[in-house]
Structure 1
Amino acid sequence: MSSQIIHGAVTITSLKQCFLLTAVYGLHIIDDRRGLWEELLILNTTILDLWLVFGGFKAMTCLEDRASGNPVHEYEVHDFNKYIITAGMIELRGIGRWFTWTNGYVYSKIDRALVNAAWTVRLEQNEVMVMDPGCSDHTPLSVQFTEEEVQRPKPFRFLNCLSVH
């Protein structure tokens, strides 16, 4: 646990499913967030089980992650994208709203749910619901778990993180 993460184990008894959860509250300044990426990479080296990294990263991955306001620049997405690639993380498919934060003029996607390769192999049906905003300027996120596994062919997915083994 640190100023930017809380890490623990979660058990969903009704689904007989256990996983590791890291809740993120990224700092606003890019330089201040660098410690977050380092912490998550260190955790990544110790985790072989299902892992969900979830919360307010305060970071974007592409130009489309902000509407209005200043355009997104490469330096704003570099560190986060480097972490995602290096750690072999995959963003859960979102349903609902695209943007997760607004000040009423600028809209940004800075809150996410990332999972590791083990998660995508065993729980591929999960998605994150981006809900309507409430009392915060951030929209709540809710990871949706399916109780029944639908029997269908799995789509081909190449994971760079598995190719080095």
Structure 2
Amino acid sequence: MVKDLKKKHRLYMLGLIETKKQVVTRFDLTRLWGQGGAGWDFVGSDGVAGGLLLIWDELVFKKNKCYKGERWLCVEGVLVKNNNNCDIFLVYGAHNRDAKLQVWEELSYMAGLYQVPSCYMGDFNEIVHVEERQGTDVLPRSAEEFRSWIQDMHLVDLPLTDRKFTWFRGRSCSRIDRALVSVEWLEEFPETQIRGGPRGLLDHCPVILDYMSQRVGPRLFRSLDSWFTHEGFLSFVKEEWRGLWEMQFTDKLKALTVPLGNWHKTKFGNMDKKITSFEEEIKKIDDLVSNGVYDGMMEARRKALVTCCERWYVRKEVNWKQMSRSRQAKEMDKITRYFHNITSARRRNNRIDTLLINGRLVRNQAKIKIAIKEYYKELYH
């Protein structure tokens, strides 16, 4: 089954549940993944029951730390391409309610350790909606608790794009295999989606998660309020802007970020050090006055030092005030972003990824848009 998946899809990471192996060796890894730079970690089975295995391409993902529970495996690391930290959880949900609650509690604790984009994948052994289990009219208590846990964790349950159920046994079928991602994950990879793979002889369909790189579009241009308290800031910007007169406006802003960064480092790089330096100079004058040494020049110098020190106090206060507002807004906006991403799930679910055009399956989004436009243009001609 793994070999079939590798033939059809380029795998960067593979999670296996119920391996029934107490120990996973390099030999086992080679049989599954083949030769090449692959990293792995596992949770051993209890006899022939359970067991988790996570394998990844080390050219794509670098592991920093690994945490393990009886029914979950967490690998914290870095995506090499964009140097982003993230957590990948592989989960095998318990079968009874008390054990499920314990798993949710352990995962909640782990989520608090690292505030990074997180993805939870696996067989959760639980549904979220009644339509996710054939013949079910009432949501069981454990399912209500699972749904509450997802909401409390501010996770987004990614919709399947190509099927309704992932587990089959006789006439029974359910959607218990899923991928849950944090709001931070969707901010970095807004086009994340999942689909089902071929089931073959298994009870479960593999769940395939696709993600695109960071959000498209220009980066935001940010400025600090404290810059405007510096007497040389506006003249510096005017001079730099004048040298970029042939560029488009957005290109000018982009080009301005480098000299602005260097200017900030030079002028504001060590505010605490500057303030400490002024305070030490003022103290030296105070010590001289305490010892009976005093003249008009000394008083003028002290006033100048106090003025400069006061100016840097103001700049530091302005800077910290802006930073605190940004952090507060970020914390307050988490819930808003969560519900925004919940509503965006419908849009992701309804997106047309492939379209049969003149007998050919087309995946190119531009060609799909043109074909749809031409179809309706001809239909309503």
User: TM-score surpassing 0.5?
Assistant: yes
Of the three residues 159, 163, 166, the one matched with 1:93 is 159
**How many residues in Structure 1 have an aligned counterpart in Structure 2?**
157
Q: Which runs of 5+ in 1 are unaligned?
A: 152-157
Return closer, same or farther for 1:148/1:7 CA change in 2, 3 Å cut-off. closer
Per-residue deviation, residues 76-117 of structure 1 (Å, max 9, x unmatched): 311111110111111123222121111021110111100111
Q: Which residue pairs with 1:80 in the alignment?
A: 146
Quote the residue 1:155 is aligned against. Answer: none
Structure-2 separation of matches of 1:135 and 1:150: 40
Shift of 1:72: 4.0
For 1:109, the equivalent position in structure 2 comes to 175
Per-residue CA deviations over 1:137-162 (Å, capped at 9, x if unaligned) read 111011102258555xxxxxx85276
CA contact (8 A) 2:155 2:180 kept: yes
CA distance in 2 between partners of 1:93 and 1:150 (Å) = 22
For the Cα contact (< 8 Å) 1:37–1:79, is it kept in 2? Answer: no
CA distance in 1, matches of 2:154, 2:77: 21
Q: Equivalents in 2 of 1:16, 1:136: separation in Å?
A: 36
Distance 2:101 2:107 in 1: 10
- Quote the RMSD (CA, aligned, Å): 2.5
Amino acid at match of 2:94: L
Question: Would the aligned equivalents of 2:190 and 2:212 in 1 still touch at CA under 8 Å?
Answer: no
Matching residue's letter, 1:91: D
> For 1:160, which of 311, 331, 335 is the aligned residue?
335
In structure 1, C-alpha distance between the alignment counterparts of 2:77 and 2:208, rounded to whole Å: 15
Deviation by residue 1:39-95 (Cα, 9 ceiling, x = unmatched): 111112222111001100001111111113x54434131111111011111112322
- 2:110 corresponds in structure 1 to 43
| SS of corresponding position for 2:194 | strand
Q: Which amino acid aligns with 1:27?
A: A
Distance 1:148 1:74 in 2: 38
Residues 1-165 of structure 1: pairs in structure 2 closer than 5 A = 1-13=68-80, 17-68=84-135, 70-147=136-213, 151=217, 160=335
Amino acid at match of 2:133: R
Counterpart CA distance in 2 for 1:87 and 1:149 is 23
Question: Residues 17, 145 of structure 1: CA spacing in aligned structure 2 closer, same or farther, 3 A cutoff?
Answer: farther
Whether contact under 8 Å (2:188, 2:213) holds in the other structure is: no
TM-score, scaled relative to structure 1: 0.82
Matched residue of 1:146: which SS? coil
Q: What SS class does the counterpart of residue 74 from structure 2 fall into?
A: strand
SS in 2 for 1:96: coil
- Compare 141-150 and 8-17 and name the one that shifted more: 8-17
Tell me the secondary structure at the aligned position of residue 187 of structure 2: helix
TM-score when scaled to structure 2? 0.38
- Does the 8 Å contact 2:155/2:182 carry over to 1? yes
Counterparts of 1:144 and 1:162 in 2: how far apart (Å)?
21
Q: Contact 2:156/2:180 (CA < 8 Å) preserved in 1? A: yes
Structure 2: unaligned runs, 5 residues or longer: 1-67, 218-332, 339-381
* Structure with larger Rg: 2
SS in 1 for 2:104: helix
Deviation sequence 1:26-45 (CA, Å, 0-9, x none): 11122221111101111122
Structure of greater relative contact order (alpha carbons < 8 Å, 6+ residues apart)? 1
Pair 1:4–1:67, CA change in 2 (3 A): same
Q: Which has the higher helix share?
A: 2
- Asked whether the 8 Å contact 1:98–1:130 carries over to 2, the reply is no
